[in-house]
Amino acid sequence: MTKEFKTPINIEITSDVDRAGDKENVHQQAQGSLLFNEDHSYTILYDMAGDLVRLEIAPEKTRTVYFGHNGKTVMVYDEMMDQAKSTYMSDYGAMDMLVKTASVDFDQVDGQGMLHIKYELFQNEASLGKFDLTLQFVPTVSTID
C-alpha cells in the first residue's frame, strides 16, 4: 500500500504564450509543497503574488485542474475532452472560458519533477492564445548551521 507524502519544493514556471503571432515568455519562481495522495493523484500547492495556487494532477496524469486566485479561478486541462469549461477570475469579475488541451505530461521521482501542459484558451469561441506551460520542481534543501 502506498503512503501519502508531502514534501517542500522549489518551483520554476515558464510559460510561452502565442496570441495570433504576438509571442511572450513569462518566467516565475515560487516555493510550495508536493503532495502524493492516497488515490495516487498529486497536488502541488504554492503562493503566487499573495494568491494560493493548487494544481490537482489526476492519477492517470492526463488531467490537471488549476485552482488560482484563492480558489476563484478554476481551469481544467484534460487531454480526453475536446474543450473543458473553466472559469477565470479577472479584475472585472468571473469570465467563462474553454480550454482545449493538446497534452498534459507529469513526472516526478523523489519529489523532483515536471508538469508540462500545452493548451489553447477560448472565450466565446474566439481563441485567446496558445499556451505552453512548464512547471519544474525540486525538493527544498534545508541547511543546518
First to last CA, the chain: 37
The pLDDT tens digits for 45-69 are 999 888 889 999 988 888 899 998 8
The pLDDT tens digits for 126-144 are 999 999 999 999 999 765 5
The pLDDT tens digits for 89-138 are 888 888 999 999 999 999 998 889 999 999 999 998 899 999 999 999 99
What pLDDT score was predicted for residue 1?
Answer: 47
The pLDDT tens digits for 74-85 are 999 998 888 999
Question: In the chain, what are the domains?
Answer: 5-138 (2.40.128.20)
What pLDDT score was predicted for residue 144?
Answer: 58
What pLDDT score was predicted for residue 126?
Answer: 94
At 70 the three-state DSSP class reads helix
* pTM score over 0.85: yes
Q: Which of 70, 88, 71 is CA-nearest to residue 131?
A: 88
Strand ranges for 1-145 from DSSP E: 5-19, 22-36, 42-48, 51-57, 63-68, 73-78, 84-90, 93-109, 112-123, 126-139
Distance CA 109, CA 112 (A): 5
Q: Which of 49, 83, 43 is CA-nearest to residue 66?
A: 43
What pLDDT score was predicted for residue 114?
Answer: 96
What pLDDT score was predicted for residue 2?
Answer: 57
What pLDDT score was predicted for residue 46?
Answer: 94
